Amino acid sequence: MRNKHPGTCYRCNLRVEVGQGHFERHAGGWRTQHADCAIKARQSKQEQQSK
């Protein structure tokens, strides 16, 4: 879901402003990533799976 609070992207370590990324449940807490980083990660994962 879209982040309602600013945070730090766990993929690129840059600031995520409200609405620019997603919150995820992780290890009993929350982590934030950019929507763009999530898309890139998904694409690279698909590339690995297709090999």
Distance in Å, CB of 33 to Zn ion, minimum: 6
* SS3 label, residue 5: coil
Residue 1 or 50: the one with the smaller Cβ distance to Zn ion is 1
Minimal CA–CA distance to 40: which of 24, 21, 26?
A: 21
Residue 7 or 9: the one with the smaller Cβ distance to Zn ion is 9
Residue 45, both tokens: 């994962």
The DSSP element (H or E) to which 35 belongs, if any, is: helix 35-50
Binding residues (CB under 5 A) for Zn ion: these are 9, 11-12, 34, 37
Distance in Å, CB of 28 to Zn ion, minimum: 22
